[in-house]
Structure 1
Amino acid sequence: MKPNYQVHEDMYVEARQAGWEGWGGNERMSKAVLVDRFLELCERPQKGKLLELGCGEGHHCRAFQELGFSVTGIDISPTAIAWAKEKARVTGTEGNYYTADLTAESLELPERYDVVIDGNCLHCIIGADRAIFLGNVYRSLSENGAFFVSSLCSKDENSYETYRNNTPYRHVTSQSGLIVELEQAGFQVLYVSVYERETSNHITVYAIKA
């Protein structure tokens, strides 16, 4: 069954109509856990061009920009991108934001980046689209560029899909399955951290373009 990535646009429209600060509600927007986990890495880039995939309304991008990175954010949702541009203006932060489908084989990104951040986007990508997505990431990186993945993760060695309205919605990967996917796409995995949660775990992976 083909996934419906348009659901993310629908959910951003709903978030704005509800008066939330961003995806998932105001409490989720009050902290940038992904950024903190990236900063914990010892060998991470300290500056450079950074691209966030699935940037939403841009709260991670704004945090990275304040740390000295030159940021670009991509999302499939036009509402999310309009929201990110609006918040950038209001907060006086710099950044480039644009709408794109990261599963399109014809995707041409405007430049090469030193760091690509998966802003909990990869677990939204289903089936064969995942290899296309990772290929686009690989081509977007400069030589030895860093790829930081933040994703749902299963509690065992089984990967599976969750469904929303009878349509594939999330790919909950196993730790080993994600590492294999990254290595097959040409990345060298350097660090892996798994965070225990109730239903499914969360995983971060730091890899470089090999």
Structure 2
Amino acid sequence: MKMKPNYNIHEDMYVEARQAGWDGWGGNERMAKATLVDRFLEIVDRPQQGTLLELGCGEGHHCRGFSQLGFEVTGIDISTTAINWAKEKAEAAGIKGNYYVADLTTESLELPKRYNVVIDGNCLHCIIGEDRSIVLNHINRSLLQDGIFFISSLCSKDDNSYEAYRDNLPYRHIASQKSLIAELECAGFRVVNTTVYDREMSNHITIHAVKA
């Protein structure tokens, strides 16, 4: 029998990050970079403004960057600590943004509006098993026609997908490039471009997809 993932672990990790005095999850060095925003900017003919939703926004690091580019941003996260942190940082910086707590794996979830862009802020690889199709369906419904879904995710170094565990429960799905693209196509997206970044343990991938 497959073990049900414990998504509340992300709340624990954000509590730990705040207690450690970090600027955000992953440490201060990670927060000093805006790699995801920079990679999004490489998209040819991308929207210059409009509505943008970030999944797994954490303390709002990327949302604030996209807001400064002219987007109307919304960030969601399962962690209450992360969302409170994001609100605090946005207010302190005088940067507009909407932030709220949501569990994307809830089938009845209704996102508040339709978006020109949905950003996967390293959230999708935290979704396990059948929950992944639920999340992708939410994303598809939330996008305007021809809207962009920009994924930033862990990726396996070969054709095998696997789960990583924490406290004996699955908390990361490391998909192969092939299986990730197949998931997106099955959920009604057209993949425009993929870029794989080689790393030591598992690779990282960005995917520019559009609602078909």
TM-score by length of 2: 0.98
State the partner residue of 2:19: 17
Q: Which amino acid aligns with 1:207?
A: A
Tell me the secondary structure at the aligned position of residue 199 of structure 1. coil
Tell me the secondary structure at the aligned position of residue 19 of structure 1. coil
Q: For 1:187-202, list aligned pairs within 5 A.
A: 187-202=189-204
Runs of 4+ in structure 1 off by over 2 angstroms are none
Q: For 1:123-202, list aligned pairs within 5 A.
A: 123-202=125-204
State the partner residue of 2:67: 65
Q: Partners in 2 of 1:164 and 1:44 — Cα distance?
A: 37
State the partner residue of 1:92: 94
**Structure 1 counterpart of 2:32, from 17, 30, 33:** 30
Tell me the secondary structure at the aligned position of residue 51 of structure 2. strand
Tell me the secondary structure at the aligned position of residue 37 of structure 2. helix
Q: Which amino acid aligns with 1:75?
A: D
Q: Partners in 1 of 2:51 and 2:131 — Cα distance?
A: 25
Q: Partners in 2 of 1:153 and 1:15 — Cα distance?
A: 24
Q: Partners in 2 of 1:136 and 1:6 — Cα distance?
A: 20
State the partner residue of 1:114: 116
State the partner residue of 2:7: 5
* Structure 1 unaligned spans of 5+: none
- Could you tell me how far 1:45 is from its partner in structure 2? 1.5
Q: Deviations over 1:50-109 (max 9, x none)?
A: 000000000100000000100000000000000000000000000000000001100101
Tell me the secondary structure at the aligned position of residue 148 of structure 1. strand
% identical aligned pairs: 73
TM-score by length of 1: 0.99
Q: Which amino acid aligns with 2:102?
A: A
What number of residue pairs does the alignment pair up?
Answer: 210
Q: Partners in 2 of 1:13 and 1:88 — Cα distance?
A: 19
Q: Partners in 2 of 1:46 and 1:150 — Cα distance?
A: 20
Tell me the secondary structure at the aligned position of residue 172 of structure 2. strand
Q: Please, what is the CA RMSD of the aligned residues? A: 0.5
Q: Which amino acid aligns with 1:106?
A: S
Q: Partners in 2 of 1:32 and 1:107 — Cα distance?
A: 29
Q: Partners in 1 of 2:73 and 2:28 — Cα distance?
A: 23
- Could you tell me how far 1:43 is from its partner in structure 2? 2.5
Q: Partners in 1 of 2:201 and 2:17 — Cα distance?
A: 24
Q: For 1:195-210, list aligned pairs within 5 A.
A: 195-210=197-212
Q: Which amino acid aligns with 1:136?
A: H
Q: Which amino acid aligns with 1:111?
A: K
